[in-house]
Amino acid sequence: MIVRISDERGRKAALECIRKLSLAKKYMIEIKVQREKRSSPQNKLYWLWLACLQDETGEHKDNLHEYFKNRFLGVDEHQCLGHQFFMAKTTTKLDTLQFKNYLDRLQEFASVELGVVLPDPKDIYWSEFYEHYKDFI
């Protein structure tokens, strides 16, 4: 059962659900902060940066996307038809904080490893950067 709490009424409803649980069984209750999925502006920034890195490195942005997922998020092990294989974890399930951290790691990697500056929208030369790469997304 999932109970979302965002106000006093929700808190009371959750407590009432717990109160009604039978003590003849064992339960595990997990409480965690709900975070929003990555935002549309974050996703747009990511693909703009990948377009820039495609231009700078010659690597296709889809390949860069797979490489960075593998490098920064790791892989999950799967089994199919009796064979083991690995797939990079997905960025689509990251919340806004996790995606921000992913973008930070990408930005640092580009700067240190590739010598490419990936600007933030608040940077002074953002408009010029955006105008140059917006059509590559």
Domain ranges of the chain: 40-136
> What is the reported pLDDT for 3?
81
Q: How far is CA 84 from the centre of its chain?
A: 25
46 token code pair: 């990511």
Question: Pick from 89, 97, 105: which is nearest to 34 by CA?
Answer: 97
Contacts of 45 (CB under 8 A, 6+ apart): 103, 121
pLDDT one digit per residue (tens) for the chain, 137 residues: 778 888 899 899 889 889 999 999 998 888 887 777 888 889 999 999 999 999 999 999 999 999 999 999 988 898 999 999 888 888 988 999 999 999 999 999 999 999 999 999 988 889 999 998 888 77
119 token code pair: 């600007």
> What is the reported pLDDT for 137?
75
> What is the reported pLDDT for 81?
92
> What is the reported pLDDT for 88?
82
> What is the reported pLDDT for 23?
92
Contact of 49 with 106, CB cutoff 8 Å: yes
> What is the reported pLDDT for 10?
86
Query: pTM (2 decimals)?
Result: 0.70
